[in-house]
Structure 1
Amino acid sequence: MKQLIFSITLCFFLIQTDANAQLFGKKKRQKEKSQTEKKKGDFKNYNEIIKGDVKSDQGLFTTHEIDDKLYYEIPFAYLETDLLLVSRIVKLPDNFGGGYINAGSKVNEQVVRWHKRDKNIDLKVISFENESDEDSPIYKSVEANNFFPILYSSKIEAVNPDSTAYLVDVTSLFTDEVSAINAMPERLRKAYKVKRLDKSRSYIASAKSFPQNVEIQHLMTYDAGDPPGRDQAGTISMLLNQSMILLPEDKMQPRLADDRVGWFTIQKYDYNSDKLKSDDYELIRRWRLVPKDIEAYKRGELVEPVKPIVYYLDPATPEKWRPYFIQGIQDWNVAFEEAGFKNAIIAKEAPTKEEDPEFSPEDVRYSVVRYVATTTRNAVGPSVSDPRTGEIIESDIIWYHNHLRSYRNRYMIEAGAQKESARTLETPEEEIGEMMRMVIAHEVGHALGLPHNMKASSAYPTDSLRSATFTQKYGLTPSIMDYARVNYVAQPEDEGVRYIRMMGPYDKYSVNWGYRYIPEAESKEDEKPILDEWILDKAGNSWYEFGSGYGVADPRANRESLGDDHVKASEYGLANLKKVVPNLVKWTAEEGQDYAELAEVYRELGYMWSGYIRHVYDNVGGVYETRKTANQKGAVYEHVPKDIQKGAVEFLNEHAFTNHEWLLNREILQRIEDDGAIERVKSLQTRTLSNLLDEDRMIRMIENESFNGSEAYTVLEMMDDLRTGIFSELYRGQTVDAYRRNLQRTYIDLATNSIAELNAEEKRNDEVIISDVIPLMRAELEQLKTDIASRRYRTSDKMSRIHWNDLLARIDKAFGE
């Protein structure tokens, strides 16, 4: 049975009017011989068009530049052929898109086909999400409901001299606004008050054709009322690159995804499934690696791939950082060796103009680690893949220059108490280079198909991160794809400990699972039992578990956390921060400079403090997720044990909701601001308290009690523990300082607002809310009202009494009294 693939129509394209859309399946495409029999007399004379000062380039399509026009010769043989169209930015204004759009950013990628319609050539957008067998009855329905849209259309101008190709004017594809390939989305159009595309200042800059791809660069200029950056011309100009690459007719064998092992995927829907629905499944995105010597590979020898993965360094990369970038790329060879390949990934310096005048970072044939000179503090690892099979065709790793600053600051904050080399704004090259190396390795991991595995960091025992032997061998986490950048658990007395993340056992496992060549399997279905067996072999070992950290309540899948005991890890982290804060003035001082660096590092230290607190409070009402299939025993979802939740609230009362004199260091504050310290602490504490009293969290706790009874940490227990901690001065008859008064007012306001919001939702939806959250909050306020009324005069401090009376008034207002 031959399989056919269909597209979901994209809403922003023109509706296709030709009902005779040719669909393709697994059988070899048949060329239309009638094309070559078309009489040239039906079109213009080729030599009347292609004449004079013509710049031509032969390749996949022969291109002709004449004055301000661009023509393609589209071979008959490549009509109805799958081509990948990749749109990228080459040059752009400063701070365009807020700094996260840069030279090399991908605008779009889509599969297209040239289609002849009478005397026209249409460029159709093809998708491969829906599929059906061409001989099945449902084929017609899938075809009718997945009509291919037309991206661009042009009249055929002529037939080339040897009657093998149509000559088509494609100028307007690159000089008009075609939404699917331009870099001005509607949100930026509104933000920059873009009025129109100025065609007089928009043009095709270059056209190059290669055997497998065509590369076009075109400049687009927009009139804008509020352009980004320091633009004074009232315009936005961008140079774009459009790559049209021939997809392989010999398709890579796809591999079925399994959510127990993390991979970027492509969604598919099979309408010929025997199930009582369309059979949806996913394919993983990966490079095609095939061993040169399959027999040696079968014997367990390490074998080089037929075509290795090659990355080029951007020529703009500073020379001193290049060795670290190369190391970061080639670090993955250790993981590929686990999959049976040697020298699977290679890093190279980009060729000079003399060595290869055709080399371009925008050419989709080349994967490049780009060094971007912007103030953005980030790095990314996107890739381009064949939607038919998941084969990754190309990727560009992007390093933003100021990301160095992020790691310098984090290293000082999280390792300054332990390492003398971290106590400076000039981090030693070897150490900042090691951090850069691991960032590049992380981004290459994305480009290989691996998503974040935020759960990995919870696998190692917390105290093992204080061991030199353990950390030097296994790193900080089983996966470099986690966010666990610096070892904040290690203490000043711990010698020889590793402080920077590195590749771990999960990375080797996942690469083996996704890239190992299985010669005995002739289809993706044949592979599945083998892949399942590899997963089951590691089942129950937390080092090999996957958790994305997105959309789940699992506290183990938390970014920047370390170790299996969040309370202990955060206590270690806070102990280090308390040693760092008194030294920040000295460590950040630069002769002749102001205190901007101090202010920046101090601000980021506050964020990290907040992160340590978040790692703990996420355990309250948390639910562990262990991904399993039906043939595996045990639950997928389990509530966090009672003692861990209760211990988390005790930690919060001790470390989050107290007076942070250590954080409010006078030597720092007097140098960076004239006020704002109280408000800063209030903001940090309010965020923590608001998250702790989140409705979804409380609902999970209520469900836990209904399932597990006395073994559950109940909402009432949590509220009692929280109240006695936050209002400890009330129960002890003590004076309340300004910071605690702020916190206690926030507690009352959050409870009040929660009731008001839920009541408003009830009225808006005209329904009865059955959640226990409203009565719980009401009961909490009533309890506080009783306690405050009976205890408010146990202190002689006038300001404290005023505060207690104010809280009573706030509670009365909440009840409408």
Structure 2
Amino acid sequence: MKQLLFTITLSFFLIQADATAQLFGKKKDKEDKSKTEKPSSELKNYDKIIKGDVKSDEGLFTTHELDGKLYYEIPFDKLEKDMLLVTRIVKLPDNFGGGYINAGSKMNEQVVRWYKRDQNIDLKVISFQNVSDEESPIYKSVEANNFFPILYSSKIEAINPDSTAYLVDVSSLFTDEVSAINAMSDRLRKAYKVKRLDKSRSYIASAKSFPENIEVQHLMTYDAGDPPSRDQAGTISMLLNQSMILLPDEKMQPRLADERVGWFTIQKYDYNSDKLKSDDYELIRRWRLVPKDIEAYKRGELVEPVKPIVYYLDPATPEKWRPYFIQGIEDWNAAFEEAGFKNAIIAKEAPTKEEDPDFSPEDIRYSVVRYVATTTRNAVGPSVSDPRTGEIIESDIIWYHNHLRSYRNRYMIEAGAQKESARTLETPEAEIGEMMRMVIAHEVGHALGLPHNMKASSAYPTDSLRSASFTQEYGLTPSIMDYARVNYVAQPEDEGVRYIRMMGPYDKYAINWGYRFIPDANSKEEEKPILDDWILEKAGNPWYEFGSGYGAADPRANRESLGDDHVKSSEYGLANLKKVVPNLVEWTAEEGQGYSELAEVYRELGYMWSGYIRHVTANVGGIYETLKTSNQEGVVYEHVPASIQRKAVAFLNDHAFTNHDWLLNKEIIQRIEDDGAIDRVKSLQVRALSSLLDEDRLLRMVENESLNGNDAYSPLEMLEDVRTGIFSELYRGQAVDAYRRNLQRTYIELASNTIAELEAEENRNGDVIISDIIPLMRAELEQLKSDISSRKYRTSDKMSRIHWNDLLARINKSFAQ
């Protein structure tokens, strides 16, 4: 899953006094801060403060720990320098934040500068979203409307002995509750009924200064009425790490983003633009990779970067998994070779205390793959970047231990029909290791700047996923950044097929586009035509298209789907599930144990069934999105062809809205529960039906009909197909079983609720909703009422007749409201 790059920076700015404080472009030349300054008569004597049993550390700032206080010596030449302040959790209570906040989690990130103000030092928060050249007249307006907020302020205590730095007591920055750098959000404060920060049990634990960064750890203790773990005596304590890193004076040349290639980005607003508005653009987030030998690079030779990307393995990582983690990280070298780099990314085991006593996973100079011992079933790949240019400074990949369980279960469910090695709770190490390798590769992809590309899964022909030669060369999708974990399309007779995802051609293309060094381009603007040409070279090939899958109506950007024909792919997937279910009791059995594993796997199998249904449903009322610029031919949005939509509804009638005797396996149910089977199937079917009758979907179909006329699959036709499918017993004069009765009642409930909710919205707003949804739903209920009235006695089954009369009463009640 995780998708996921943390972007808590924005939420911090909402908390602070001014959410839009900005950097406006290049700064004016400042006076030389390296000059010595004469001590003020108001200042104390340095030697009277820094004395006795003091623990000092030299680096970016010299730090002093003394009597529970922390002092910084802030050099004159580091004032008004851009520094990145990053907050991470080092230790925390069990289940804090519901299990998704763990040791190593990044909580806040912002750029700060230290300013001298009279006899004070102010720490201000800086942002770089709005920009303008200082020489431009509009600069003054941008400056006046985007004022830097002060995060922290402290009096200058003294000047250091060689008169090059101010001595400042910064203790309260870490022992008081400063919202910008703590981990107790308003949501968590409310959930745990936090009353206050207990300063008597909060303190600075350590401070270390390195040449380019300072690492401070401090413990925060809160009084809480409802802490996440009951054994915490009414308190919540957590150890935080604050990293302050000096950002480079020599900025990386930024690269303009393009929505046709997926990247995590930074938004910019240039008020110096000649356009009749601010020039809105985005920069991609990426590591700074520069070839050691630029001339050799120009000749097309593979060249090592000046500074490679290095990941260290958490010492807590079990030894048997380390080779797979290293492979997953270094798999990306194949993609970087497409961009002209060799050995661009390196994985190492963390040094021992003897090898490097100063090494710390919390040190922002080191990127670490953390192994977190929690029951959370996930992995994430966040990163920290320079908001001025998009340069990624550091990242931590987090692997949660119980994610192994997710892949064990999925492998059994989706490959058990085809592979004997998947038919066990003890998945062979080589296969679970390969899955872990690809999960780490996926998360490293996020840390390199790549978001999810859910559209990739629709690029390959469905039947190609049954081919050994194709899948072994190209994988399951063109991108490892898709959610396509196991090949559920392959059938038992398909030998030699690859079952686990891998890196694909899109990944190499995207890394080349984002990371290839362009020696002759001296600005982001000069790079753009070259980058555009690289996109146009691949235009029209679905292997190289991007679609995030979030908030879109494109069925090709489904999560967890495979293949270009969702109906066929889901039919293959369901065929495999039907072979798996009768064997689950045997495959999950453990000597002397109960049936909790069986219950878990069986429950997750139902979710996967629901996923296959969802993939098909997305085609109904779906709209293909093909991202283009104005110099490309063709449109961006096209409605899914009517023939595909009809085929999808026919599939749903055959597989979603029918009996599921194969799923309601008595041997399983009688081992895991005393009741609830009917409700479980009902909930799966209700979810599918609710999605199909979703208002937005119907509105898209109405619009499609208005644009394409008879070529469209109209909502009226769709509703008629669904009604005749769900109520097929009525039209065939057959008895209705308990499962179908549930579904039919749900249909009337959904249709009635849709009408009621839309009419209530009209009443609330005082407006008439200009939509065909209400009349369409009302017409369906009217037709159903008429059909039930004329056909209800065509079956001799007493329960079915009672059911038909009940449906009539429900429809009449709906009309009476």
Q: TM-score category by the smaller chain?
A: over 0.9
- AA aligned to 2:476 is L
CA contact (8 A) 2:23 2:130 kept: no
Inter-partner Cα distance in structure 2 for 1:627 and 1:38: 62
Distance 2:700 2:778 in 1: 19
**Any gaps of 5 or more consecutive residues in structure 2?**
1-9
Q: Which amino acid aligns with 1:566?
A: H
Aligned to 1:108: 108
The answer as to 2:405 corresponding to 1:402 is: no
Output aligned runs, 1:64-213, within 5 Å.
64-213=64-213
Q: Which amino acid aligns with 1:519?
A: P
- Asked if structure 2 preserves the Cα contact closer than 8 Å seen for 1:286 and 1:515, the reply is yes
Offset of residue 432 of structure 1: 0.1
Kindly indicate whether the alpha-carbon contact (under 8 Å) linking 2:314 and 2:349 is maintained by their aligned counterparts in 1.
yes
Whether the 8 Å CA contact 2:22–2:148 is kept in 1: the answer is no
2:604 counterpart residue number: 604
Give the corresponding residue for 1:239: 239
Could you tell me how far 1:399 is from its partner in structure 2?
Answer: 0.1
- Contact in 1 for aligned 2:37/2:164 (Cα 8 Å): no
Any stretches of 5+ residues in structure 1 without a counterpart? Answer: 1-6
Instruction: Select which of 4, 13, 18 maps to 1:10.
Output: 13
How far residue 714 of structure 1 moved from its aligned partner, in angstroms, is 0.5
Check whether the contact 2:788–2:804 (CA below 8 A) recurs between aligned residues: yes
**Per-residue CA distance 1:89-127 (angstroms, 9 max, x = gap):** 000000000000000000111000000000000000000
Task: Provide the identity percentage.
Answer: 86
Amino acid corresponding to residue 454 of structure 2 in structure 1: M
- CA-to-aligned-CA distance 1:633-680 (integer Å, 9 cap, x gap): 101000000100000000000000000000000000000000000000
Letter paired with 2:778: R
Bigger Cα displacement from structure 2, 223-232 vs 442-451 = 223-232
SS at match of 2:362: coil
C-alpha separation in 1, matches of 2:570 and 2:11 = 48
Aligned equivalents of 2:346, 2:383: Cα separation in 1: 17
Superposition RMSD in Å:
1.4
Counterpart residue number, 1:815? 815
Alignment of 1:376-455 (within 5 A): 376-455=376-455
Cα separation, partners in 2 of 1:814 and 1:675, compared to 1, 3 Å: same
Do 2:22 and 2:126's aligned partners in 1 also have CA atoms closer than 8 Å? no
Q: Which residue does 2:3 correspond to in 1?
A: none
3-state SS in 1 of match to 2:77: helix
1:496 paired with 2:496, answer yes
Q: For residue 285 of structure 1, what is the aligned residue in structure 2?
A: 285
Contact 1:191 1:226 in 2 (8 A): yes
* Pairs within 5 Å for 1:582-661: 582-661=582-661
Question: CA shift at 1:276, angstroms?
Answer: 1.1
Q: 1:24 to 1:777 in 2, by over 3 A?
A: closer
Distance across 2 between alignment mates of 1:23 and 1:404: 44
The residue aligned with 1:738 is 738
Q: Which residue does the alignment assign to 1:366?
A: 366
Give, in whole Å, the separation in 1 of the partners of 2:388 and 2:60: 21
What residue in structure 2 maps to residue 4 of structure 1?
none
**1:244, 1:483 → 2: CA distance?**
35
Residue 406 of structure 1 aligns to which amino acid in structure 2?
S
Decide whether aligned partners of structure 1 residues 523 and 361 sit closer, same or farther in structure 2, where only a CA change above 3 A counts. same
Which one-letter code corresponds to 1:361 in the other structure?
P
1:327-726 → structure 2 map (5 Å cutoff): 327-726=327-726
Aligned to 1:803: 803
| Secondary structure at 1:60 match in 2 | coil
Any idea what the Cα deviations from partners look like across 1:719-770, whole Å, max 9, x if unmatched? 1111110000000000000000000000000000000000000000000111
* Aligned-residue offset at 1:31: 3.5
Q: Which residue of 2 aligns with 1:3?
A: none
Q: How many angstroms does 1:554 deviate by?
A: 0.2
Structure 2 match to 1:781: 781
Q: Supply the AA of the counterpart residue of 2:239.
A: L
Q: Please tell me the residue identity of whatever aligns with 1:142.
A: V
Say if 1:483 and 1:560, in contact at 8 Å, map to a contact too. Answer: yes
- Give the Cα separation in 1 of the matches to 2:84 and 2:770: 52
Cα deviation 1:338-368 (Å, max 9, x = unaligned): 0000000000000000100100000000000
Partner Cα separation in structure 2 for residue 298 and residue 26 of structure 1: 31
2:214 maps to a residue whose letter is: V
Does residue 792 (structure 1) correspond to residue 792 (structure 2)? The answer is yes
**Per-residue deviation at 1:274?**
1.1
SS at match of 2:74: strand
Distance 1:619 1:605 in 2: 23
Q: 1:722 to 1:150 in 2, by over 3 A?
A: same
Name the CA distance, whole Å, in 1 between partners of 2:320 and 2:341: 30
SS at match of 1:71: strand
Change in CA separation of 1:448 and 1:741 when aligned onto 2, cut-off 3 Å: same
Q: Which amino acid aligns with 2:183?
A: A
Q: Secondary structure at the match of 1:217?
A: strand
CA distance in 2, matches of 1:11, 1:781: 48
Amino acid at match of 2:423: R
What CA distance in whole angstroms lies between the structure 2 residues aligned with 1:31 and 1:23?
19
1:8–1:147: 8 Å Cα contact kept in structure 2?
no
Is contact 2:24-2:143 (8 Å) kept? no
Residue type matched to 2:364 in 1?
V
Deviations 1:372-393 (A, max 9, x none): 0000000000000000000000
Q: Letter of the aligned partner of 1:484 in structure 2?
A: A
Aligned to 2:5: none
C-alpha distance in structure 2 between counterparts of 1:152 and 1:35, whole Å: 25
Q: Aligned equivalents of 1:230 and 1:86: distance in 2? A: 30
SS in 2 for 1:455: helix
The 8 Å contact of residues 15 and 150 in structure 1, kept in 2 or not, is answered as no
* Kept after mapping to 2: 8 A contact 1:375/1:401: yes
Distance 1:610 1:212 in 2: 51
Aligned length: 807
Secondary structure of residue in 2 paired with 1:133: coil
Q: Amino acid of the residue matched to residue 706 of structure 1?
A: S
Tell me, in whole angstroms, the C-alpha distance in 2 between the residues paired with 1:88 and 1:752.
50
In structure 2, do the counterparts of structure 1 residues 333 and 28 end up closer, same or farther at CA, with 3 Å as the change threshold?
farther
Corresponding residue SS for 2:13: coil
Letter in 2 for 1:516: R
Q: Is the 8 Å Cα contact of residues 397 and 447 (structure 1) preserved in structure 2?
A: yes
Whole-angstrom CA distance in 2 between matches of 1:199 and 1:32: 40
Shift of 1:233: 1.3
1:496-518 CA distances to partner (integer Å, 9 max, x unpaired)?
Answer: 00000000000000000000000
Tell me if the contact between 1:8 and 1:148 (Cα under 8 Å) persists in the aligned partners.
no
Q: Deviations over 1:519-575 (max 9, x none)?
A: 000000000000000000000000000000011100000011000000000000000
Q: 8 Å contact 2:26–2:134 — kept in the other structure?
A: no
Q: Does the 8 Å CA contact 1:9/1:148 hold for their aligned counterparts? A: no
- Secondary structure of the equivalent of 2:275? coil
Distance in structure 1 (CA, Å) of the matches to 2:14 and 2:78: 26
Residue 32 of structure 1, CA deviation: 4.2
CA distance in 2, matches of 1:559, 1:615: 8
Alpha-carbon displacement from aligned partner over 1:678-717 (angstroms, at most 9, x marks no partner): 0001100000000100010001001101111111000111
Instruction: Indicate the SS of the match to 1:135.
Output: coil
| Residues 279-310 of structure 1, C-alpha deviations (whole Å, 9 max, x = no match) | 11000000000000000000000000000000
Q: 2: CA distance between counterparts of 1:27 and 1:305?
A: 30
Cα distance in 1, alignment partners of residues 431 and 33 from structure 2? 64
CA distance in 2, matches of 1:29, 1:789: 87
User: CA separation in 1, counterparts of 2:378 and 2:29?
Assistant: 44
CA distance in 2, matches of 1:172, 1:35: 29
Structure 1's 270 and 349: CA in aligned 2 closer, same or farther, altered over 3 A? same
* 1:479-499, Cα deviation, whole Å (9 max, x unpaired): 000000000000000000000
Q: CA deviation at 1:234?
A: 1.0
Q: Distance in 2 between matches of 1:630 and 1:573?
A: 40
